[in-house]
Structure 1
Amino acid sequence: MIKRLPTHIADIRENPRWLPMFALGRVMLFRNLAWRLTGPPRQLNVAATLFPEVDADDVTVRLRKDGLFQGLKLPAVIRSDIAVFARSTPCFGNFDRKLELLAQDHRAAEFATGKAILTGHFFERVLQCQAARRVQQDPLLLQIAQNYLGGEARVTATRLWWSFPSESASDYDLHLASQNRFHFDLDDWRMVKYFFYIEAVDQDAGPHRYVLGSHRRRILRHQFTLLVGQPAEEIERIYGREAIVTLTGAEGFGFAEDPFGFHTGTLAKSVPRLVLEVSFGVSEKLHRRFHGEPVVH
C-alpha cells in the first residue's frame, strides 16, 4: 500500500473523481447505490462479432449471478496473430520499462539481471496488434458490457502480458504479479473484464482463479479495509472452497468476469501463460500512465 501511494496521489490529481470511488467503492452499500445510477443499455448491431455462438443476455444473467461467464473462444486466426505478435515483440519484465525482453529470452534475462521475472507486459504496444484491436472493438463484448454496466460502458483498458515460470520468486515478486493472494479490483464503480488465453493453460501454466458470487456479497471486514488482498485460507473459510473456480482451457479459451469479485493469478510452474484482457468501465480512464503500471516513475 505504501509503495503504491505515489501512484494513488498522482491518479487523484489527474482525476479527483477517483478518490470517492477508491474510498467508498469497496463498501457494498455505496457500491450498490452506484449501480442504481446506471443508464439504459444501447442495443447494438452485433452481426460482425467474433463470437456468433454467444448470447449477450445469457452472459449478462451469469455475470449477475456468479460474476463469471465461461464460454468465449477466439477464432483461430485471431488467436494465432496475437501469439505471433507476442513472440516477436519485446515486452517489459516486471512492469519495468527499462527491462525489455522477448518471451523466449526470459531465462537469459533472469540470469542477466539476477532476479525473478514473473511477468512481461506489452503496455501500449498491444495496440500495434491488429488482431488484439479487433477483439477490443468487438460489438458483442460491448453489448454485454452495456447490458451489465449500463449505457455508460466503454473500453477502459486493453492489456496483453506473459506470466513466466520462475524458481526464485519472492513474496513481493508474487504480490507485484498479483499471484500471491486473492484480491478484488478497485479501478471503477462498475467493471467487466474479458480474458483470453492465447495459448493453452493447464494447472502448470498459472491458471486464473475466481470466487463465484463474491462480487455481490462481502463480509464487513473485507469492506472496511484499505487492503484488497486476502490469503487463500481466509477466502476458502469465508466464501467456501466450492465457490473457487480454477480456469484452465485450450488455446483461445475466454471468459468474462466482474473483477470486484475475489480473484487471483497463480504462479506458472513449467510453461508461460499469455493472456489478452479487454476491460470495460463507466468512468473516464487515466491517461498519465498505461493501465497496469503500478508505480509512478
Structure 2
Amino acid sequence: MQTIGSNVQDLESVARKGSAFRRIAVRIPTYIADVKENPAWLPMFMLARTLPGRNLHWLTARKHKPMPRAESSMFAADSTTATSALRNDGIFTGLQLPQPIHEAILDHALSTPVFGNFSRKLEFKAGDHGEAEKTFGRTILSGHLFERSLDCEAVRAVQRDPLLTDVAKSYLGAQAQLITTRVWWSFPTAATEQDRSMASLDKFHFDLDDWRMLKFFFNINSVDEGTGPHVFVKGSHRRRRLKHQLTLLVGHPAEDVLDYYGKDSRVTLTGPAGSGFVEDPFGFHMGTVPTARPRLMMEVGFGVSKPSKRRFHGEPILR
C-alpha cells in the first residue's frame, strides 16, 4: 500500500516529466530548422550526448601549439592556464574585460532596441522593460540584441581577441572556429515556464549545438545573487551519469544533478562588471532568473563544425 509521501513523489515525478517534454516541444521548430539547414546536425544531436560518441569525435582534434602571451590581447590570462583548468574542471574563471570595453558594451546595450523573449515582434529598449511588458501585455524575461550586437566596436574587439581563439584551439583542436556572438539582457519578472525553457533558465542542462564547443561569458554589469548569476557544475563535462546520456532530455532538476556530482561541484559565477569565464558547455550549467536587477551578458562561442548562418546570433525558431 502506497503512503502519502510516495504519492506526492509520484506526482512530482509526473510533473517533472511533463515539464521536460514541454521544454522539448518549445524547441521542436528550431530542431526542424537545424536539420533542414544541415542534415549532419541530427547524428550530432543524437550521439554527442553520449560519452563514447563525444570521445570518438575528440580523436579528430588536430594539435594546436599555444601562442606565447600575446601583447595584443586585452586579457591578462594565458591560454595554457585556462586550457588546463578547462580540462580538469570544465571551467576557467580568470577573465576580466577592461573598463572601457565593458562600459562601451553596456552603453550600446542600453541605447539599442532589443527583442524580447527571442521574438522580433517584441522590440523595446532595456530601460523601458516595465513599459514594454504593459504595452505587449505579457512578461518579458530576456532581451536579445541578435545581429545588432556587432554594431558595437567593443563587442567586435572581444570577439576577435587572440586569447579567445588561442584557448579555443588549444582546447578543442586547431579546427576550432568562432560560431556565435551574443549580447542579451535577463530581466526580473514573473516568467512563464515556456519563457524560462526557451532561455534555458533555472534548469541544469548541457548544450548540443556541436560535437565540441567552448563558450566565453562576460558579465557586462556587476552580478550578485539577485542579478541571476550563471551556475556551472565542475567536472560534469568529462563524466556523465548513464541515464543522462540515454535520454533526449538535456535539462535535469538541480537535486538530480548535484546528488551525482556533489553539492561542492556547483560554482555560482558572481562578480564585478566585466568579469568573465570560459566553460565547456557539455558540462551541466544554467542561468538563473534575476530577482532584483537585470543582468547583461555577452557570449562568444567556438565550435568545430560549419557555423549555422541562422544560429549565428543565437536566434531560435518560434511557433
TM superposition score normalised by structure 1: 0.96
Q: 1:65-104 maps to which residues of 2 (within 5 A)? A: 65-104=88-127
Letter in 1 for 2:302: F
Question: Equivalent residue for 2:165?
Answer: 142
Q: 1:126-141 maps to which residues of 2 (within 5 A)? A: 126-141=149-164
1:134 partner SS: helix
Distance 1:296 1:117 in 2: 15
1:13-57 CA distance string (max 9 Å, x none): 211211111110000001011011101115557220011x21110
Judge conservation of contact 1:74–1:253 (CA < 8 Å) in 2.
yes
1:159-217 CA distance string (max 9 Å, x none): 00000001x22222221221121000000111111000111000000000000000001
Distance 1:42 1:154 in 2: 15
Distance 1:55 1:290 in 2: 27
Judge conservation of contact 1:188–1:283 (CA < 8 Å) in 2.
yes
Q: 1:26-105 maps to which residues of 2 (within 5 A)? A: 26-44=49-67, 46-51=70-75, 53-105=76-128
1:231 is the counterpart of 2:253: yes
Which runs of 5 or more structure 2 residues have no equivalent in the other structure? 1-23
Q: 1:1-297 maps to which residues of 2 (within 5 A)? A: 1-44=24-67, 46-51=70-75, 53-166=76-189, 168-296=190-318
1:227-275 CA distance string (max 9 Å, x none): 1000112112111111011110001100000000000000100100000
1:107-132 CA distance string (max 9 Å, x none): 11112222111100001110111100
Distance 2:311 2:305 in 1: 16
Judge conservation of contact 1:171–1:180 (CA < 8 Å) in 2.
no
Q: What is the CA RMSD across the aligned residues, in angstroms? A: 1.3
2:226 partner SS: coil
Distance 2:115 2:318 in 1: 15
Distance 1:212 1:43 in 2: 24
1:13 partner SS: helix
Deviation at 1:285, TM superposition (A): 1.0
Distance 1:230 1:296 in 2: 23
Based on CA coordinates, which of the two structures has the bigger radius of gyration?
2
How many positions carry a matched residue from both structures?
Answer: 295
Letter in 1 for 2:248: L
Which runs of 5 or more structure 1 residues have no equivalent in the other structure? none
Distance 1:296 1:11 in 2: 13
Letter in 2 for 1:62: A
Letter in 2 for 1:285: P
Judge conservation of contact 2:83–2:170 (CA < 8 Å) in 1.
yes
Distance 2:286 2:221 in 1: 19
TM superposition score normalised by structure 2: 0.90
1:245 partner SS: strand
Structure ranking higher in helix proportion: 2
1:204 partner SS: helix
Judge conservation of contact 2:26–2:198 (CA < 8 Å) in 1.
no
